[in-house]
Amino acid sequence: MENDLEKLKYPTGRFVAARQYNPDTLASWIGGIRSAPLLFDYCIENLDEAQLNTPYRPGGWNVAQVVHHVADSHMNAYIRLKLALTEDTPTITPYDENAWAEMADVQLVPLNVSVTLLHALHRRWTTLLEHLKEEGWTRTYYHPESKEYMPVWQMTNQYSWHGAHHAEQIISLRKRMGW
């Protein structure tokens, strides 16, 4: 049962961070960030209200919460990136993603608003990454919860995975439910 729950929670597997900076992998990671909004267009297409309110796993968020979470998370990531590029090792502010998933904007705002937000945000994000100078990739921010310094290249790796990870949660649910 535990293994089944793990597979539902992480259908693409848990995130495995690249061990070191490699400029050859940047285009792939940027491509993952660029394509995430299109993945969400695809994975929520033609879902009705009941389907959008279905949890992707037992005890997990519903489909709408997952999509709104990605918008929230990626907005935070984009701001963290800009802070890392404009300040000397800023300390970022963590947030309680579960509390955010229960707020009124997640409960009441139509899902297409967050998907549209993802399209706009990812356009700006990928433009910024594509025009980053070499020294920008090694700039960092400090995450007080994990007590780690996160370089820009590593956050790009992580968020490339993050969008695909959550889209696959929804795609896997659709397959299981025959939607």
Task: Please tell me the distance from the alpha carbon of residue 109 to that of residue 106, in angstroms, as a whole number.
Answer: 6
Beta strands in the chain (DSSP E): 140-143, 148-151
pLDDT in tens, 8-34: 999 999 999 999 999 999 999 999 999
pLDDT in tens, 50-106: 999 999 999 999 999 999 999 999 999 999 999 999 999 999 999 999 999 999 999
Chain center to CA of 133: 24
Predicted local distance difference test score (pLDDT) of residue 70: 98
> Which of these CATH numbers, 3.40.1550.10, 1.20.120.450, 3.30.43.10, 1.20.1740.10, describes 2-177?
1.20.120.450
Q: Which of 37, 35, 33 is nearest to 119 (CA)?
A: 37
| Contact assessment for residue 32 and residue 163, using Cβ atoms and an 8 Å cutoff | yes
Predicted local distance difference test score (pLDDT) of residue 1: 58
Is 70 exceeded by the pLDDT of residue 158?
yes
Is 80 exceeded by the pLDDT of residue 2?
no
Percent of the chain with pLDDT over 70: 99
Quick one: angle between helices 63-86 and 152-177, nearest 10?
Answer: 170
Is 80 exceeded by the pLDDT of residue 127?
yes
